[in-house]
Structure 1
Amino acid sequence: MTTIAAPTPLTHTEPTPSAPGREWWRSAVIYQVYPRSFADSDGDGMGDLPGITHRLPALRELGVDAVWLSPFQSSPQRDAGYDVSDYRDVDVRFGTLADFDRMLATAHDLGLRVIIDIVPNHSSSDHRWFQEALAAGPGSPERARYIFRDGTGENGDLPPNNWESIFGGGAWTRVTEADGRPGQWYLHLFDKSQPDFDWENPWVWEQFRGILRFWLDRGVDGFRVDVAHGMVKEAGLPDYTPPAHTGSMGGAAPTLETGGIPLEPEIAAHAGGEPATPPYFAQDGVHAIYRDWHTVLDEYSGDRVLCGEAWVEPLDKLARWVRPDEMQQTFNFAYLETPWNAAALRSVIDRSIAAFSSVGAPSTWVLSNHDVVRHATRLALHGENLQGHGIGPKTTGLPDPVFALHRARAATALMLALPGSAYLYQGEELGLPEAIDLPDDARQDPTWFRTNGERYGRDGCRVPIPWEGTEASYGFGPTAASWLPQPSTWAAYTRSSQAGVPGSTLTMYQDALDARRRYDLAFGSPEWIDLGEGTLAFRSGEVTVVVNFGEAPVALPEGEVVLASGALDGGMLPRDTTAWLV
């Protein structure tokens, strides 16, 4: 007989010293904070470090193990901080180094580790290093810091090759030399304000060793490495045209960001073999960089970590980023991009565990972040969803939000039962959907501007999150100011309206994280159970996990229900619902 367990009071413990094979990052649930949208302490509409410090106890109450902060370093903010102008300082919009130190100390006092973003593929064009490169001219050591090349065609009027920017348009911009003449071109795989470093230059290596040590000396627990599949380009910078591909629901078409690689995992598997490697991503030379960085982190105690943002398929190739002498983790985007389908998810789970286990690393699991449509909307979309394009008012196939959230909760409950480490994106514990109806004049993503409004970009997942109240900024800050407008419906998603409420999304996340720790699921070994078509079921230690993807309810096996993503009908599991039983 299936019974439903009473809620278990949340318990929290300080991080324990690591034992071999039990390093904290192997099992951690890591919460992504997008600083400008998390909490605003001074009412200017922009989140900041003091705001983060004030709200850290809420993350401890949620039950996560660590916090990852997206960029807060000095930046002109043309790409929301991923255009860094000083790697060793805090942007004035977010506070000061002293504010950072207080935030870090508070997190550690709460038992939370802190990972920060590092952006090594490119800097801001405002960075002193790039300004010196412009002033120094062709052939100078300063120019050698970045990828400058002479143009092609008559008088060098054409770019060095045909590469396109991730944000749309060409990937090269021509400079005007000090004497006023048209000059060389510089590479920017992202916005023209983000020139790519030349990692063939030992000077660049040495600068980033110093940057790592600067933050490690302050006490950070590790780094999330932006564009970890980038940095090294193929010698000669040959032309490259990504293969055409039509995206599908839940899968991304191969844009420049994915290097022409289909992120829907079944595509690569059915194609038979490894996708072609583009000349600007996933080059073998990046591994020498991470082996070097690994030695820098080894200078410090406390199991410091590197986590890579590497858009690489297939998973066997991605596992090369987490070999024992390189990174500790890399994001599992193949899992994120898998559609809501039992067979597809079983396949990607098996392949993920096998690939990462083969190099002694944990798999990671993630459903949402600051670059993708929130999974409380994405998993129920009926139309095309191309990675990085975003969705908006004119998008077709938008889902019913109640149905979409029900499915998203089931997906979260499945993810948190899997072995390894998991990443949560701020606001998903509140069930936040993608903000779709943003006014055109409020949008700020470079993608929106570089494509002349053809792509909405990523603003919809970056709207400041709601904390309490029914008006103004819903507790995001002390005023109504918000750098992106918040939907009028978000009063129903505030943390205060869900705290302690049985059945709320926040309560479900808290219960799942508590049970995940209690039953040691992060170190489990899932064994599949056949409960019929349209279901996904496995046993991990004491826990049996069942997910219903079908239209009709299915009978649960005998046991006590310790977690359910939605209401159960006696011993029956409704569609798009996940249950854990012991």
Structure 2
Amino acid sequence: MSADDWWKHGIVYQVYPRSFQDSNGDGIGDLDGIRARLNHLVSLGVDAVWISPVYPSPMADFGYDISDFCDIDPRFGTLEGFDALVQEAHAKGLKLILDFVPNHTSERHPWFVHSRSARSDAKRDWYIWRDPAPDGGPPNNWLSNFGGPAWSFDEVTGQYYAHSFLKEQPDLNWRNPEVRAAMYEVMRFWLRRGVDGFRIDVLSQIVKDAQFRDNPLNPDYVEGQDTFLRWTMLHNTDLPEVQPIVAEMRRVVDEFSDAHSSRVLIGELYLPLPRLVAYYGLNAQGVLEGVQLPFNFQLIGADWQAAHIDRLVRDYEAALPAGAAPNWVLGNHDRARIASRVGPRMARLAAMLLLTLRGTPTLYYGDEIGMTDVPIPADEVQDPFEKNRPGMGLGRDPERTPMQWSADANAGFTTGRPWLRLASDWRTCNVEAQSRDPDSMLALYRRLIALRRACPALHRGSYEALEAGNDVLAYARIGEGRRLVVLLNFGAAAAPVPQALLPRRPLVLASTDPARAGPVDGALVLSPGEGVVIGNEGAEENQDPPV
């Protein structure tokens, strides 16, 4: 086992803390709730839990507007409670990854309070301030991700400040070395408390153009689309100056790595593939000095077709720098749930895809029981993204609803009123009910994760693309002298599998169809939406065949 094994070959599970488990009846999930549910993660078989922000916050953007980077919001608990969570997670063999939000603070953060107090204040340059344009308007045409200009005017000092998101989230000036030093100390604060790494929020946006030039028109913009798409974000995202900062962040976490366990950086990066892989930070000496896992979100927006996914997997594998660890993501707190995007049967296929591709998989809480997006009435909307840009369908509340644990009141999530409404199926779609059903989605996830952990070919082996027809995605996973074949039917019709792809005496090791198990007798025909992992009936431990 190497120090990197846990993040290279393990599984990450994302917890959205407001929605995982409430321990005190206020309707909002908290740290003690997460601690009470760690056994679920252990029984599922994951290796690390990533927790979205739990810092003190006015909650204008539900924790991504941070007023103190080195404490815990009382809604979620205390620093002592956080320490207890880290300790218990480690005792159960789980790593803990914390969200790090470097792009901005809350407007109520003491740094910004000082910064906006006067142009002469020592922290003025910790944020991005500019004089108005000649017409008195914003300094340039940059837009906020949450709608409107990326600039707000401050009456006290007569300048605009930049904010890539809400006006309550002013952007830090990462060109200022004092800002960088202060944020690196934030990282060290949590690393000293035992966290095993960070998921870095909107990493590509932390540096803006020094000349504050207007963004150019997007040549692909179509009238009627979201106005945010009118401009190409050339001058306020993915600038070359980001890369040295990423290398500095990496050196900070490397200070806390040792021979037994390395600390990890995971970057949130919605970028084209050539730019995404640049964040691995391959330097001139061939050393990777960037984030170890630049999040690969291709499956979130992919056309759900075998040929399309086959192409993106091949392209991704080919683009990876030497020594880089791949990773895959099906969903998160900002995107519609996989079961809503592709339907319940295809969500089972997606689970097999995620857990058999080469690289680190990230699971989003609730996907293991097939949770779907929950329609939120207009008068119950919480997400500022939806409130600021109504009618665009951008709200993220539907994928953030409370975890469904049991058929007890409020799905076992809270004894109070949940902060968001529950799905209508919570009485039947929950962890407790699915734990008793061997054909459930939860049972499938547990079987696939157990198989992945048991087979080196799956958790550390190489990837070989195979050809199996238009609707079947086929590939082999090879490692430690063994070979497994994965076959996924994305089509709406039954699909015969070419005999040449199957090993001698083929054995179904896992299937998305509960009715299929054991040796393959004769031709193998996959049902619509069925996936299988094939080994060899005579292989060691009946798991996989010799290469």
- Which TM-score applies when normalising by structure 1? 0.84
State the match for 2:173 in structure 1: 198
TM-aligned CA deviation for residue 567 of structure 1: 4.2
State the match for 2:49 in structure 1: 67
Equivalent residues in 2 for 1:535-554 (5 A)? 535-541=472-478, 542-554=483-495
Give the direction of change, closer, same or farther, for the CA distance of 1:255–1:98 in structure 2 (3 Å limit).
farther
CA distance in 2, matches of 1:407, 1:128: 48
State the match for 1:186 in structure 2: 161
Residue of structure 2 aligned with 1:353, choices 278, 301, 317 = 317
TM-aligned CA deviation for residue 255 of structure 1: 8.1
Higher relative contact order (CA 8 A, sep 6+): 1
State the match for 1:371 in structure 2: 334
What is the number of residues matched between the two proteins?
507
Instruction: Report whether the alignment pairs 1:485 with 2:421.
Output: yes
- Which string of whole-angstrom CA distances, capped at 9 and with x for unpartnered residues, describes residues 355-406 of structure 1? 22x2421111011000000011113xxxxxxxxxxxxxxxxxxxxxxxx011
CA distance in 1, matches of 2:219, 2:372: 30
State the match for 1:281 in structure 2: 237
Equivalent residues in 2 for 1:332-347 (5 A)? 332-347=296-311
TM-aligned CA deviation for residue 487 of structure 1: 2.3
Unaligned regions of 5+ residues in structure 2, if any?
282-287, 536-547
State the match for 2:466 in structure 1: 529
State the match for 1:393 in structure 2: none
* Partner secondary structure for residue 476 of structure 2: strand
TM-aligned CA deviation for residue 318 of structure 1: 1.1
State the match for 1:102 in structure 2: 84
State the match for 2:510 in structure 1: 563
Residue of structure 2 aligned with 1:159, choices 129, 132, 138 = 138
State the match for 2:23 in structure 1: 41
* Partner secondary structure for residue 87 of structure 1: coil
Give the direction of change, closer, same or farther, for the CA distance of 1:246–1:57 in structure 2 (3 Å limit).
farther
* Partner secondary structure for residue 428 of structure 2: helix
Does the Cα contact within 8 Å between 2:463 and 2:476 map onto a contact in 1?
yes
CA distance in 2, matches of 1:308, 1:107: 23
State the match for 1:395 in structure 2: none
State the match for 2:411 in structure 1: 474
TM-aligned CA deviation for residue 528 of structure 1: 2.3
Does the Cα contact within 8 Å between 1:187 and 1:195 map onto a contact in 2?
yes
State the match for 2:545 in structure 1: none
Unaligned regions of 5+ residues in structure 1, if any?
1-16, 248-252, 261-275, 380-403
Instruction: Report whether the alignment pairs 1:294 with 2:250.
Output: yes
State the match for 2:364 in structure 1: 425
* Partner secondary structure for residue 473 of structure 1: helix
Give the direction of change, closer, same or farther, for the CA distance of 1:466–1:526 in structure 2 (3 Å limit).
same
TM-aligned CA deviation for residue 529 of structure 1: 2.3
Amino acid at match of 2:270: W
Residue of structure 1 aligned with 2:454, choices 508, 518, 522 = 518
CA distance in 2, matches of 1:562, 1:467: 29
Residue identity (%): 39
Instruction: Report whether the alignment pairs 1:507 with 2:463.
Output: no
CA distance in 2, matches of 1:63, 1:463: 23
Equivalent residues in 2 for 1:108-127 (5 A)? 108-127=90-109
Residue of structure 2 aligned with 1:309, choices 268, 282, 285 = 268
Amino acid at match of 1:366: V
State the match for 2:277 in structure 1: 319
CA distance in 2, matches of 1:241, 1:439: 37
* Partner secondary structure for residue 418 of structure 2: coil
Residue of structure 1 aligned with 2:65, choices 83, 90, 105 = 83
CA distance in 2, matches of 1:378, 1:166: 23
CA distance in 1, matches of 2:131, 2:404: 50
Does the Cα contact within 8 Å between 1:447 and 1:455 map onto a contact in 2?
no
TM-aligned CA deviation for residue 240 of structure 1: 1.2
State the match for 1:439 in structure 2: 377
- Which string of whole-angstrom CA distances, capped at 9 and with x for unpartnered residues, describes residues 6-46 of structure 1? xxxxxxxxxxx525xx5321112100000000000001000
TM-aligned CA deviation for residue 47 of structure 1: 0.2
